[in-house]
Structure 1
Amino acid sequence: MKFGKLVDKAWEEKTAEEILAAPPSALEGLSERHDALLKDLGIKTVADLGNWKYAQRAAALVSLAPLDK
C-alpha cells in the first residue's frame, strides 16, 4: 500500500507495520521536536499515538459532529 501524504517522504515505501513502530515524526507534518513532546505523554510510536485514548476520543467527536446538526 502507498501511504503518500500520510507520512514523511522517508517513510513512503515502508510497510504499515514499520510505520506503526516508527516515531510520530514519521507522519507528515510532525518533527523530532514533536517526538520529544509526545514522549512526555508516553507516546513513542505512531501506534501509541493512534491508540492514545485522547486521540481516539477526538477522532470520534470529529466523526460524530456532522450527525449533531
Structure 2
Amino acid sequence: MAIDLDKVLDKAWADKPLAEVLAAPVAALKGVSDEDGKLLHEAFGVKTVADFGQLKYVRWAQALVALNQTVKA
C-alpha cells in the first residue's frame, strides 16, 4: 500500500525517515495541531505518531470500518 506522505504529513516531516516520523509528535500529521496533540496526550497518553497508530481505539475503529466494507461488498 503506497501512501503519499505529502498528503498525510506536515511539510516539515514529509521528507524525514519513517523512524523519525513515527517518533514525531502527533502534530506532524497534517491537520493535527499542537493543541490536538496535547488533548490526545491528556486523554489517551498519546505522544507520538506511533502511539496514535497503536492506540487501541483507533485500531478498533479501523476494524469496524473494514468489517463494514466487507459487508457492503
Specify if TM > 0.5. yes
Scaled by the length of structure 2, the TM-score of the pair is 0.87
Aligned to 1:13, the other structure's residue is in SS state: coil
CA distance in 1, matches of 2:66, 2:31: 22
CA contact (8 A) 1:2 1:13 kept: no
Unaligned runs of 5+ in 1: none
What is the match of residue 43 of structure 1?
Answer: 46
Equivalent position amino acid for 1:13 in 2: D
Runs of 4+ in structure 1 deviating by more than 2 angstroms, as ranges, are: none
Return the match for 1:16 from 18, 30, 38: 18
Describe the superposition over 1:14-46 as per-residue Cα deviations: whole angstroms up to 9, x where unpaired: 011101000100001100011110111100000
What is the match of residue 26 of structure 1?
Answer: 28
Over the matched positions of the two proteins, sequence identity in percent amounts to 46
Scaled by the length of structure 1, the TM-score of the pair is 0.91
Give, in angstroms, the shift of residue 66 of structure 1.
1.6
